[in-house]
Structures are given as structure tokens and as C-alpha cells.
Amino acid sequence: MARTVNEQARQEKRELILQAAVTAFPENGFSGTTFAVLAKSLGISAATILLYFESKEELFRCAVLEPLERFRQPFLAFMQGEGTPLDRIKSMIDVHIRIAASNSSFLRLVQYVLGQHQRFPEEAEAMYRFANDYTVGLTTVIAEGQAAGQLQSYDAHEVAWGYFCFIQGVGLVNTDDPSSPVWDGMRRVGLQLFAPVTNQ
């Protein structure tokens, strides 16, 4: 039992360090984010961070890749969803807006990595794979919706990429609380990007 409790406490401490890193790296840059800076923000010693991450490079990699992997299932759930293509797109938008509204720090980290993709090739490549998996799946659903007469006929891949850019931008720019009604407006705007047929 003690081992289970200790392991849970260890995982919680590790997650706190990761969360602090997700915020600090895009704010301070890779060079400006030191273990000392992170330790001060968390009220721990820099040596404590070394118990969880062997280097700043490992911490950075984990801060990027672990949340990205956690978002994969909810972000791509629409691909196995039920209902019509339009139903699946509406449900997808709801999920994505919730993610965007609550994860602006991680979205800033994503943009930091992509803006310096040559400096962070492993992390950037993981993001490109995520984006490709997402847009390929969404392109298929859009094409199904167009074939069913639920969506107007535009280039399905362009619509998928346009929406992907929109949802990232919304999370970066909008700092309102996740419960703010502004997010309902963003749901409506997001849906319009798919050009639903007006009588649906």
C-alpha cells in the first residue's frame, strides 16, 4: 500500500513539474527556462527536479510529447464517433473548444516548437504526425458529409486544415475563462467553416 501511495505522490509531483515547464518554456524560451527558474515557481529545489528528469532536454521533450499524446484520443475521437458526418463534426467541435479553452499554455508551447522546428526536430515531427493523422481523418468525414448533402462542396482537405488552424488560433488568442459564453460563439464560427447546408 505504501508503495502505491508513494508512486501516486511521485506521479503528482512529476505532473506539477511538467505543468510548470509547459508554461515556462514558451514564456522564457528554452535557454531562459532553467531548473532554478522552475524550482522557484514550484517552491522546490532544483535538485528535486533532477529526481524526475535527467536533463532540461528530457523535461522539454516530455512537456511537449506527453500532453500531445494525452490529447490524441479526445482530439481524434470523432473518427470513431456515431451519427451522421455533421453530428460527428458538431461533437468534435464541442470537444475541441473545451480542449482549447483549458490548454492555452500548451498551445503556446506547440507554437514555440513549430516556430523553431529545426531546433526541436523530434518534437516538431511528432506534432506534424499528429496534425496529419487529424486532417486525414477529418478530410474523410467532411467528404462523407458532402456526399450526404450535409455540407457544401469545397476542397475537403483545405476545409480540414482551415479548421485545424482555427482551433489552435482560438486557444492561443482567447484568454476568457472556459465557462465564458464567448466559447459558444467560437463553436458556431467553427461549425460555419465546414459550410453546413442551411436546411440541416
According to CATH, what is the number of the domain 1-53?
Answer: 1.10.10.60
- Determine whether domain 64-192 maps to CATH 1.10.357.10: yes
The parts of the chain modelled with pLDDT lower than 70 are 1-5, 199-200
* Rounded Cα–Cα distance for residues 40 and 46 (Å): 8
1-53 and 64-192 share one CATH topology? no
Q: What is the pTM of this model?
A: 0.87
Cα–Cα distance for residue pair 36/44, rounded to 1 Å: 9
**Please, are residues 65 and 126 in contact by the beta-carbon 8 Å criterion?**
yes
Residue-range domain boundaries for the chain: 1-53, 64-192
How much is the pLDDT for 189? Answer: 96
Q: What confidence score (pLDDT) does residue 187 get? A: 95
pLDDT, position 139 = 97
Q: Which residues of 53-70 are buried (b: 16+ CB within 10 A; e: fewer)?
A: beebeebbbbbbeebbee
Q: SS3 of 196, please?
A: strand
pLDDT at 198: 80
Cα torsion angle, 101, 105, 111, 113, sign: negative
pLDDT at position 50: 94
Question: Which of 182, 79, 54 lies closest to 139, judged by CA?
Answer: 79
